[in-house]
Amino acid sequence: SQTIHQWPATLVQPVGSPLSLECTVEGTSNPNLYWYRQAAGRGLQLLFYSVGIGQISSEVPQNLSASRPQDRQFILSSKKLLLSDSGFYLCAWTSGGLYNEQFFGPGTRLTVL
């Protein structure tokens, strides 16, 4: 069966510091991968998605970037965090085939102080 991991689970960082969040998927190959941000009490905002290694599509201009160095690894980064980067970051995957069942990881709670 497939599983998706995210780490760290929680993170507190000062403004201006760098960020690296990691997501890995097990039990599937060539998945589509997604990064979402969820502000407190709000919906899910799609940040980036990837249909293959090295292929990144950005949905919104922002202070963040994403990379996919391996088939089942998706990384969210920032060089300098802003207060507005605080939120709950969710990674998700789909099989990349015709059907869209999208499965989410447990999330990373980021607080920027």
Partner 1 sequence: GENVEQHPSTLSVQEGDSAVIKCTYSDSASNYFPWYKQELGKGPQLIIDIRSNVGEKKDQRIAVTLNKTAKHFSLHITETQPEDSAVYFCAASDEVTGGGNKLTFGTGTQLKVEL
- The single-letter code of the amino acid at 70 is Q
Angle at 50 between CA 48 and CA 56, to 5 degrees: 65
* Site for partner 1 contains 56 (CB under 8 A): no
The stretch among 11-19, 62-70, 73-81, 87-95 that binds partner 1 (CB under 8 A) is: 87-95
Task: Report which of 14, 50, 12, 45 is spatially closest to residue 30, judged by C-alpha positions.
Answer: 50
Strand partners of residue 21: 76
CB-nearer residue toward partner 1: 32 or 86: 32
Candidate list 75, 90, 110, 112; residue touching partner 1; CB under 8 A: 90
The stretch among 11-19, 60-68, 74-82, 99-107 that binds partner 1 (CB under 8 A) is: 99-107
- The single-letter code of the amino acid at 98 is L
Q: Are 10 and 107 in contact (CB under 8 A)?
A: no
CB-nearer residue toward partner 1: 11 or 107: 107
**Interface of this chain with partner 1, residues 22 to 41, rule: CB under 8 A:** 32, 34
Q: Are 91 and 34 in contact (CB under 8 A)?
A: yes
**Binding interface with partner 1 (CB under 8 A):** 32, 34, 42-44, 46, 49, 51, 57, 90, 92, 94, 96-107, 109
